[in-house]
Amino acid sequence: MATPRTTPSRPDALTLEVVELIGSVVARYHEEYEEAAAGHALTGAQARLLSLLCLEPLPMRRLAQRLKCEPSNVTGIVDRLESRGLVERRPDPADRRVKLAAATPEGRQVARNMQNSLRFAREPLAGLSEEERVALRDALRRMLSAD
Amino acid sequence: MATPRTTPSRPDALTLEVVELIGSVVARYHEEYEEAAAGHALTGAQARLLSLLCLEPLPMRRLAQRLKCEPSNVTGIVDRLESRGLVERRPDPADRRVKLAAATPEGRQVARNMQNSLRFAREPLAGLSEEERVALRDALRRMLSAD
DNA sequence: TATTGTTATACTCTATAACTATA
DNA sequence: TATAGTTATAGAGTATAACAATA
């Protein structure tokens, strides 16, 4: 194992700095996401839901799972997007209890515009060489699978 | 410059993967932060405010700046923390308009407990060697200053 | 006059519980 | 009976505008 034998409760200065840097990246990412959403008159939750629906229509229930919130909340978020014509509800032919939420063409356009205005989420790597990107990719992969 | 000359609108596969990994880290970090806060009966906003006050007492106005919200919101968040005895308001001897919010000893203890339960923010680096941590630190630094 | 903190208001997000229509 | 979606309700965060106390 590559882990140095230090007391878990007293991480070394390097580890502390990396953890703080990750916190900064997280904060920065979130700020810019909310900002980009607000620039298109969307809340963060609306923007996340709309982005999901741009990939494929989804039952309300699955939207709640993806957004990690209760199904009852999805009703309101979809209501607001639907009243703006960005999302629509369709019946599911296979199960009449299910409603499929789907992005309209206008909804997809708004989502695209928003994602294009997300500079930091798109270009955070401008200053890194290919070698550095590979190293960063490997480190991030390992972080996410370390659980 | 180390940036390869590709069209900005069509990033290469490596870049796309790294961007997606960063998104995953951000999502994971946020989930665990909210979870840790909820475990101590705090909302995310309350946890962030309390963590700030653990470093030093701050005027309400500065808290709003740090949390990137309107000063009127800080009143309510501090109210709720104060009613639980985790935060207190003190007069500022230098300016009688100002109220300094400060964490109580109990508030500091709750914040410490919460931070200790943040595993992902603390131990995502367990699988990385010191060399890799240095490379990760440098890459993150450059990402954050690339603006 | 300008600034600090607060109040009042309205909207959104959130969880919980109860309801309906299907299955 | 179980499930999908909704409604009703209450608490919290948010922005805006107006206010009192102080500078």
CB atoms within 10 A of CB A52: 18
The secondary structure of residue A89, as a DSSP letter, is E
Residues of B in contact with A143 (CB under 8 A): 25, 124-125, 127-128
pLDDT digits (tens, 9 = 90+) for A10-67: 678 888 888 888 888 888 889 889 999 999 999 999 999 999 999 999 999 999 999 9
Q: Do the strands A58-59 and A99-103 form a parallel or antiparallel pair, or are they unpaired? A: antiparallel
Sign of CA dihedral A90, A92, A97, A99: negative
Residue that has been written with the tokens 């790294």 in this structure: B18
The two tokens of residue A79 are 């209501």
Distance between CA atoms of residues A65 and A60, nearest Å: 9
Note the CA–C1' distance, B80 to C2, in angstroms. 30
The secondary structure of residue A103, as a DSSP letter, is E
Note the CA–C1' distance, B83 to D22, in angstroms. 26
Q: Do the strands B99-103 and A99-103 form a parallel or antiparallel pair, or are they unpaired? A: unpaired
Read off the pLDDT band of B6 (50, 70, 90): very low
> Pick from A102, A76, A81, A105: which is nearest to A90 by CA?
A102
Between B130 and A64, name the one with better pLDDT.
A64
The two tokens of residue B30 are 């946020």
> Pick from B104, B123, B110: which is nearest to B42 by CA?
B110
Residue that has been written with the tokens 């590559």 in this structure: A2
Q: How distant, in Å, are the alpha carbons of A112, B85, B100, B107, B118 from that of B110?
A: 42, 11, 20, 5, 13
A71 at interface of B, judged by CB pairs closer than 8 A: no
Q: Domain B20-145 belongs to what topology?
A: Arc Repressor Mutant, subunit A (1.10.10)
Between B115 and A71, name the one with better pLDDT.
A71
Mean pLDDT over residues B72-80, rounded?
A: 98
State the pLDDT at residue B103: 98
- Which residue ranges make up each domain of chain A? 23-145
B21 at interface of A, judged by CB pairs closer than 8 A: yes
Distance between CA atoms of residues A77 and B28, nearest Å: 23
In A68-128, where does DSSP find H-type helix?
A: 71-83, 105-116, 119-122
The two tokens of residue A60 are 């309300």
Q: Mean pLDDT over all residues of chain A?
A: 88
CB nearest to B26's CB, from A4, A19, A29: A29
> Pick from A10, A133, A3, A8: which is nearest to B125 by CA?
A3
Domain A23-145 class?
mainly alpha
